Amino acid sequence: MLFLLINDLKDQTTLKEIYMTITKIDLMLCQGCKTCYEICPMDVIRWNDEELKPVIIYPEDCQLCELCVIECPEDAIIVTPEKDLGHILSWG
Q: Map out the domains of the chain with their CATH numbers.
A: 25-83 (3.30.70.20)
Confirm if 16 and 59 have CB atoms less than 8 A apart. yes
More confident residue, 12 or 4: 12
Q: Please report, for residues 15, 17, 39, 48, 56, the alpha-carbon distance to residue 12 in angstroms, rounded to integers and kept in the order given.
A: 10, 10, 31, 28, 20
Average of per-residue pLDDT across 22-39: 92
pLDDT in tens, 53-70: 999 988 778 877 889 999
Measured CA angle at 78 (ends 10, 29), to 5 deg: 140
Residue count of the chain, please give it.
92
Confirm if 91 and 71 have CB atoms less than 8 A apart. no
> What confidence score (pLDDT) does residue 71 get?
95
> What confidence score (pLDDT) does residue 91 get?
57
40 has a pLDDT exceeding 80 = yes
Average of per-residue pLDDT across 63-78: 90
